[in-house]
Structure 1
Amino acid sequence: MTLSPGEEPENPSQPSTITDIGDPGMDRGRTTKDEYTYIADGYSLFRRTIFIVTVCSSMFTNQLGLCNSLTTLEIIGDSFGVTDPGKLSWTISGYGLTLGTFVLIGGRFGDEFGNKAIFIIGMGWLALTSMMAGASVYSSYPIYILARVLQGLGPALTVPNALAIMGKCFSSGPRNMGFAWFAASAPVGAMAGLLFGPLFAMAWWPWIYWSQALGVAFLFVLSFVAIPNVPTEVEEKKRPTIRETLDRLDVFGGASGVVALVLFNFAWNQSLVTTWDEPYVYACLILSVLFMVAFFYVEIRVARYPILPVAILTSDIAFVFACTAAGWSTFGIWLFYVIRTCLNVGGQTPIQLAAWLSPILITGIGTALVVGKIITKVPASFIMLFAMICYLITSLLMALRPVESIYWTYFFFGTIIATFAMDSSLPAATIIFSSAVPRQYQGMGSSVIMTIVVYSISLGLGFAGTIELQINNGGKTPADLLHGYRGTLWFSVGLTAFGTILAIFFLLKDYRQRNPRKYEEGEISASIGA
């Protein structure tokens, strides 16, 4: 008999005997429900470490793929004869476009076909497209951008399924720390990208991606051994028909949603290259709205298994979405334009920037692990407010930072505070989402939040780039460049101020729900005093 997570055996007095074949780290003949459901709880320390490292490698490679190109944009562009900032920005936004668009789809595929299988496919895809990105040096810049766009599909498959694997293999206590290590792997991956990207570029920039391909290929092989088989959401009693599978995948809803997100993001980012004078840019924007209307119609009226059920769109979820989008859009703008300011105006080198950003390695890991410990003791709404305040402070520091200032002032403290924001907002958003939606939608929580996170980064860069091009007078002088960069950083200040206000309202709302009697007594006292 096979039990899904959380399902009780029919006869608790006669539990099923469990045998884990081929795993020396597991005891044989275990009989308790938790040991069967949460298979990784019984792993030896060595086996558990390998498992966690393999699963967390999805977030590591995701951030590596984003940051290994941040400080080398101009080097790569020069090899193709491309210097237009709008075209260069596609190196980052193209990667984020597919990642943000397909994360939710990747999670649904894992539910239907197995999280381990989709995780492995994602790693294999990322290895192949990384090789393609390096090999594009022999072709053209559009082929390179195509490779970067295709690269984003790899993490879109691995990240949501890594979270699902962690949730299905660990019980609540170890799971929280597993998620903390997952979050901690993000700054490690970012730091690796910021360091090794320019180091490999000093030899020949294609090695940025070829080295990534070799590392991911190793993880692809390791995943077969390190990750156990976990049950799918589909009932195993009978094999579903093709029609049932298509219904569960929500093909029409998924397709219309993907097209809407791609067209909307493409319009804003392509406008940096061609400006809004081109009719096809407007056409893409209008079509994206029409496809989004079609998506919601399918989800509400047609889909039997909607990929984004309307039941989850509550006021609490709206707060989560808005705060998460504001915060992570700001992160993308902050990271991209602070680096551009240092490289193109301040005169810093890519290696020097890697050293300047190195504190994220320590503070990022530390913050993630602390949040993993306190997340069940401190209200998630408070942690979200803390994260938004940190985003706001970081944005202000970087918008006000004089180019000639020394490292240990604005830049150092801005970098430290930014890691507090990133590694506290993501778990807080996941917790709030899980508390606000019905039980049957718990599994999609991490996928939805990750969709908001990565799509917001890409879209935020599109908005910021439009602002930059409108105010930088063509970017012909360092002063013009700096004026455009500062405009985008002040835009990020506005975004985080909006997110902070929303987080304050949400904290008050959450307090009222947690303490209804105290709130009512306070209102009565106030009315009497009046």
Structure 2
Amino acid sequence: MTSSPESTELPIKSEGVEASPAPSQQLEKDVESNEQPKENGNVYPADALSTPRQILFIGTLCTAMFTNQVGLGNTLCTVGLIGESFGISNQGQLAWLIAGYSLTIGTFILIGGRLGDEFGNKRVFVIGMTWYALWSLVAGLAVYSTHVLFVFARVFQGMGPALTLPNGLAILGQSYSPGPRKNMSFAWFGGAAPFGAIAGFLFGGLFALAWWPWIYWSQAIALAGVAAFAAWTIPPLPVQPKRHRLLREKLEDLDIPGGLTGVAALVLFNFAWNQAVVAGWQQPYVYVCLILGVVFGVAFFCIEVYWAKAPILPLAAFNSDIAFVFACTATGWACFGIWVFYIGQVALNIGDTTAVQMAAWFIPVIPSGLISALAVGKLVGNVPASWIMVVGQVAYLVGSILATARPPHTIYWTYYFFSVLIITVGMDTSFPAAAMIFSDAVPQQYQGMGASIVMTVVNYSISLGLGFAGTIETNINNGGLTTSDKLLGYRGALWFSVGLAGLGLVLSLVFIAKSHFKSKPKA
């Protein structure tokens, strides 16, 4: 059946099941069910929405980033109190309470994006919020058990954002045509991060004053409400398959071998680095996990390049520009993860700061992060992404240097204030820029896959960076028995974050030089 241009622009919805629907009709179904739109049509439903409806639509999807950061912030500021209730004082074990959450997000986002592409982004988004709520409830109930259950609950909590983050971005990518509106929607998505972090710090500190399990029980209640609201806000049409597929074809499209080997590689490699902080590299199982992680990683890339018909990692969409962007994003967010954990440890354990004070101290991330993210939304398309990356890396470098050099008992309005203000610029310029660049680089029907790669880089870098930093800390702090030894370990980890930011700056400058010589006309 052929379709005229007019019929493509004015699709007709059908309630019945058609044996061979017109391309315009199938496209309308696919878009409204948040499934992949057809490549032969470019329908972007959000472009036609009224302004109030767009605000509601974007705001609902931004809860993915907001709740993700809440889950990080509410534990960062109370990790010492929670560890104390379980009898934990080792910094390596405490770091697991943070790293386990980010590890799971970074590991399973690729799977979450692919599930959304196959079964409907809206459906997976709602399931992710519900799953997140369930394991937040379990995290609070762990007070009646041991820290092992709490760590497991934190790990399984991370699977919630692993489903909501890529699918929230995918819905935005499918719903807006390339241009200012799409850029601003991504910017608002990234701009939700500082609000979530502050909310996590604030409510974590406040509920900890009563009883820390309420941090997670209140989170579970809120997430359940968000899941119900998202199910109502995002159009609830069922997913329509593009065509009848055999079970073998469905399994090939899911790329199960690639997913299994990729997850195994990410988990084992990250587990080795974070567990080495607790058990030490002298334990055989630690370096065995590291070796197995590398082996599974090699197997994963071999499967993706030579075997997978629908690879979970679209290597064909990669080019040197995207590789540089991702490298800068990885170093920057690893730096940020180390910075936010250890600047907090210095304030809480050395400077005797309370969790509520910590929340107040991080308030500058709201204006700084929001302005940075929205500025990127306006500048992308007019300013090369390479220069945006340079600005972000400079912010990471300056902010981490201020945190490292800060005397523990100095007043807030010197090092700490400016460190928070500046490093947030790096966080909220690198993420929106990377998301926009990669969203435009992949086909519209694979927005979930593209978004998942960006979020994998961000969250896996945070977790792995904490593993590297924890190894440095525990090897130089002489056991952390005295305040001076603890400070020595904290600063060693923070200097490592400075090194990561410096590496990212060098990479971003190389990227600019490469782009300059590439665009320079040959004589």
TM-score by length of 2: 0.91
- Of the three residues 465, 478, 486, the one matched with 2:491 is 486
Q: Is 1:115 matched with 2:103? A: no
Partner of 1:445: 450
- Of the three residues 228, 235, 250, the one matched with 1:245 is 250
- Of the three residues 462, 472, 475, the one matched with 2:477 is 472
Q: What SS does the corresponding residue of 1:365 show, helix, strand or coil?
A: helix
Q: Is 1:134 matched with 2:134? A: no
Report the more deviating stretch, 289-298 or 257-266. 289-298
Q: What SS does the corresponding residue of 1:473 show, helix, strand or coil?
A: coil
- Of the three residues 274, 278, 291, the one matched with 1:269 is 274
Q: What SS does the corresponding residue of 1:68 show, helix, strand or coil?
A: helix
Stretches of structure 1 lacking an aligned partner (at least 5 in a row) = 2-8, 22-29, 522-530
> Quick check: 1:131–1:213 contact (8 Å CA) kept in 2?
yes
- Of the three residues 320, 332, 340, the one matched with 1:335 is 340
- Of the three residues 227, 235, 241, the one matched with 2:234 is 227
Partner of 2:36: none
Match for 1:178: what amino acid?
Answer: S
- Of the three residues 58, 62, 66, the one matched with 1:56 is 62
Q: Distance in 1 between matches of 2:185 and 2:300?
A: 34
CA RMSD of aligned residues (A): 2.3
Q: Distance in 1 between matches of 2:85 and 2:409?
A: 30
Quickly say closer, same or farther: Cα 1:169–1:409, change in 2 above 3 A.
Answer: same
> Quick check: 1:327–1:391 contact (8 Å CA) kept in 2?
yes
Quickly say closer, same or farther: Cα 1:185–1:109, change in 2 above 3 A.
Answer: same
Q: Distance in 2 between matches of 1:476 and 1:148?
A: 28
Deviation of 1:437 after TM superposition, in Å, equals 6.4
Match for 1:459: what amino acid?
Answer: L
- Of the three residues 423, 428, 433, the one matched with 1:428 is 433
Q: Distance in 1 between matches of 2:410 and 2:12?
A: 63
Partner of 2:361: 356
Q: What SS does the corresponding residue of 2:309 show, helix, strand or coil?
A: coil
Partner of 1:99: 105
Output aligned runs, 1:71-86, within 5 Å: 71-86=77-92
Q: Is 1:321 matched with 2:326? A: yes
Q: What SS does the corresponding residue of 2:449 show, helix, strand or coil?
A: helix
- Of the three residues 23, 26, 37, the one matched with 2:43 is 37
Q: Is 1:282 matched with 2:275? A: no
Stretches of structure 2 lacking an aligned partner (at least 5 in a row) = 16-24, 33-41
- Of the three residues 198, 221, 224, the one matched with 2:205 is 198
Partner of 1:10: 3
Deviation of 1:14 after TM superposition, in Å, equals 4.1
Match for 1:107: what amino acid?
Answer: G
Q: Is 1:506 matched with 2:511? A: yes
> Quick check: 1:380–1:431 contact (8 Å CA) kept in 2?
no
> Quick check: 1:93–1:461 contact (8 Å CA) kept in 2?
yes
Q: Distance in 2 between matches of 1:159 and 1:439?
A: 17
Deviation of 1:313 after TM superposition, in Å, equals 4.3
Number of residue pairs matched by the alignment: 500
Q: Distance in 2 between matches of 1:55 and 1:73?
A: 28
Q: What SS does the corresponding residue of 2:5 show, helix, strand or coil?
A: coil
TM-score by length of 1: 0.90
Deviation string, structure 1 residues 9-50 (Cα, Å, up to 9, x no partner): 8301445454699xxxxxxxx9x9999922223333333222
Q: Distance in 2 between matches of 1:73 and 1:60?
A: 20
Q: Distance in 2 between matches of 1:96 and 1:320?
A: 21
- Of the three residues 448, 462, 467, the one matched with 1:457 is 462
Deviation of 1:435 after TM superposition, in Å, equals 6.2
Q: Distance in 1 between matches of 2:197 and 2:146?
A: 27
Q: What SS does the corresponding residue of 2:310 show, helix, strand or coil?
A: coil
Report the more deviating stretch, 138-147 or 220-229. 220-229
> Quick check: 1:39–1:169 contact (8 Å CA) kept in 2?
yes
Output aligned runs, 1:395-434, within 5 Å: 395-433=400-438
> Quick check: 1:168–1:230 contact (8 Å CA) kept in 2?
no
Q: Distance in 1 between matches of 2:505 and 2:238?
A: 40
Match for 2:312: what amino acid?
Answer: I
Match for 1:487: what amino acid?
Answer: G
Q: Distance in 1 between matches of 2:337 and 2:190?
A: 17
Q: Which has the bigger relative contact order, CA under 8 A and spacing at least 6? A: 2
Partner of 1:296: 301
Q: What SS does the corresponding residue of 2:481 show, helix, strand or coil?
A: coil
Match for 2:520: what amino acid?
Answer: P
Q: Distance in 2 between matches of 1:152 and 1:17?
A: 39
Q: Distance in 2 between matches of 1:427 and 1:53?
A: 16
Deviation of 1:385 after TM superposition, in Å, equals 0.8
- Matched-pair identity in %: 54
Partner of 2:193: 186
Q: Distance in 2 between matches of 1:417 and 1:235?
A: 47
Q: Distance in 1 between matches of 2:442 and 2:320?
A: 11
Q: Distance in 2 between matches of 1:414 and 1:83?
A: 27
Quickly say closer, same or farther: Cα 1:229–1:164, change in 2 above 3 A.
Answer: farther
Deviation of 1:258 after TM superposition, in Å, equals 0.2
Q: What SS does the corresponding residue of 1:304 show, helix, strand or coil?
A: coil
Q: Distance in 2 between matches of 1:443 and 1:82?
A: 39
> Quick check: 1:68–1:208 contact (8 Å CA) kept in 2?
yes
Match for 1:392: what amino acid?
Answer: L
Q: Distance in 2 between matches of 1:438 and 1:117?
A: 21
Q: Distance in 2 between matches of 1:246 and 1:485?
A: 47
> Quick check: 1:381–1:432 contact (8 Å CA) kept in 2?
no
- Of the three residues 378, 388, 399, the one matched with 2:393 is 388
Deviation of 1:353 after TM superposition, in Å, equals 1.2
Deviation of 1:84 after TM superposition, in Å, equals 1.6
Q: Is 1:516 matched with 2:520? A: yes
Deviation of 1:362 after TM superposition, in Å, equals 1.4
- Of the three residues 371, 392, 414, the one matched with 2:376 is 371
